[in-house]
Amino acid sequence: METAIANPSAELISTGRPQLDRNLRLKDVLKTLPKDVFIKSRFKAWFGFLSNVVLVSLGWWGIAIAPWTLLPLLWLFTGTGFFGLFVIAHDCGHRSFANKKWVNNLVGHIALTPCIYPFHPWRIQHNIHHKNTNHIDRDNTWNPFYVEQYEALNKFEKTVYRSLHGKFWWLGSIVHWFQLHFQWWTIKPGKEREQFKFSALFVMAEMAIGFPLLIATTGWWGWFSLWCMPWLVFHFWLSTVTLLHHTLPDLRFEPDGKWHEVTAQLVGSTDCKYPWWFEWICHDINVHVPHHLTTAIPWYNLRKAHASIEENWGEYITRNRFSFRLLWQITDVCHLYDEEKGYRTFSES
């Protein structure tokens, strides 16, 4: 793990970085970014989307004709293509793919079709994460439980929690998908509920029609090989990338009264280096700090924005490099949360 500490003698917070002025506002940080990072490129946006469509199509073609010895590699390739489509839908959800809202909605639904992920429910829930990043009580993405919360769970709930915050972290996004993205009746009546319901029913219809057709034409093995295994690879990446964006032993979650927006977005988000092929297929989603400062930056401008942040705010940034060793360390330690001590392991509860 690489952590930037420009001035070791400065007043330090628990993360080992200089203390941010709590009077600092998000717009003060955004003023330091080049204005052209907010400019959308129709060509780059559509090229990114269509390139993933081509990659997934090539992956499916390869799975259909390749010998079984090549299937694991093709599952990895195709599932990573799924995740690339998810990243395009991610820009659509933040309205940074196109200027017209209906284009964002249409492309978002199409891009998430192989992932069977409801677009509007994801968009609505994901915006909660951005508004409350690393808020211990309000964030909805990998926020840990207090010890007291964990102890109040029943045996089954404890087993699920221990698994998802341990070595089965890669199933976390599947549980999140199932728990939060189909229950439209939990949303306050109005436009958002109708959008939520439409997307949820769209995905249900997709599964009800698409799965039987796939099984009828390719058999159960075709369903498993062409869709299920790539889908599991997609969720491995979704769980892993999301986990590494905001989870390290020294990154803080804070409650009301202590939570500070700029600290949460600038210090509480991390950038992580992945293999070049992953970063290319998945459109630099790992360049995460600029995205958390403002969701208005399209994926193809993230690196330029990041260079500016490095220049002006580099002492506050956390940088990692993807590895299974890092994942093992996180899932060995980042289990429960204590407001004063930070993360605690299950054995310390």
Cα–Cα distance, 125 to 118 (Å, whole number): 11
- pLDDT, one tens digit per residue, over 136-145 is 999 988 889 9
pLDDT average, residue stretch 12-29: 73
* C-alpha neighbours within 13 Å on the C-beta side of residue 45: 20
Predicted confidence band of residue 14 (pLDDT cuts 50, 70, 90): very low
Nearest to 187 by CA among 123, 279, 95, 259: 123
Q: What DSSP letter does each residue of 174-239 carry, written as one string? A: HHHHHHHSS-GGGSPTTHHHHHHHHHHHHHHHHHHHHHHHHHHHHHHHHIIIIIIHHHHHHHHHHH
Section 261-273 average pLDDT: 91
SS3 state of residue 322: coil
Strands of the sheet with 145-146, listed across from one edge: 145-146, 336-338, 342-344
Mean of pLDDT over the chain = 92
Beta-bridge mates of residue 18: 12
Q: Which of 13-17, 267-271, 290-294 has the highest mean pLDDT?
A: 290-294
pLDDT at 18: 74
For 270-286, write each residue's pLDDT tens digit: 999 999 999 999 999 99
Percent above pLDDT 90 for the chain: 83
pLDDT of res. 16 = 58
Report the pLDDT averaged over residues 51-62: 98
Rounded to 5 degrees, what angle do the CA atoms 102, 78, 50 make?
Answer: 35
Q: What is the mean pLDDT of residues 188-200?
A: 95
Res 348: pLDDT:
83
2 falls in which pLDDT band (50, 70, 90)? very low
Q: Please give the model's pTM, rounded to 2 decimal places.
A: 0.92
